[in-house]
Amino acid sequence: MKLSRLTNETAVAKAAAGWIAQTVTERPDANIVLPAGKTPVLMIKDLVRSTMRGELNLSRARFYQLDEYAGVEPADPRSFHSFIRRHLLERLDPDVAANARLLCGDETDLPRHIEAHARRLAAEGGAHLAILGLGLNGHVGFNEPGSERTARARVVELHASTLETAASDFDPAELPSRGITMGLAEILAAQRIIVLVTGGGKAQVLRDLFERPASSDLPASWLRDHPQCFVLADRAACSLLKSLAAAE
């Protein structure tokens, strides 16, 4: 795992978009695992700008949704499915949307749905690039504390800190208690992994990621042995690291 310490979240987003552009340039039909969230939206805006300027062709790329709230339908603007459609797919060539592999949180058989999603990724060659965020509790996707590195795509109970973060988007009675996610097994099978970390609120978990022993208590720590895992973090998120050298 290597750390790139960048100035701010805009720089992180631009660097992440650069990794996607490089991957698609190397392989136009690349499989790219994509999350939702504040930093990803800036990354996606950069991708859209590059595509509209004719600098990047995403028409053959396959974007795989990383995770989703259970029970939240795709049309709900709070769903990750809706996020990817609004910010990326609806702004680009229809071929990009046609190739997208999205999740539906309102499926009646969620275990079967997420398992089929992971099988499809494997059948299409696995992830060439996985973009991830880092949760305050160390989760990646919805691989919450307690997740082993062998955990596969599944339905999960959301951790209290995840629910606390989600609470700003949902009325208490509607707050999802479960999610569906690609597992660490599918993530670790990716050829390259990029982890986005921004803001001072993530400083403690970023320090833990580099300084604590790898364990299921901090699921992101399982990424440390991946030969092509890169953490893109802004200055605020890096504020508690003892030194850049210690984190590389």
Question: Which residues belong to the active site?
Answer: 67, 137, 139, 144
Radius of gyration of the chain (CA): 17
Per-position b or e across 105-120, b if 16+ CB within 10 A of its CB: bbbeebeebbbebbee
Spatial contact of 72 and 78, defined as CB atoms under 8 Å apart: yes
Length of the chain counted residue by residue: 248
Residue 195 corresponds to which tokens in the numbers above?
Answer: 């982890």
Q: In what order do the strands lie in the sheet with 67-69?
A: 67-69, 178-181, 154-157
- The SS3 assignment for 189 reads coil
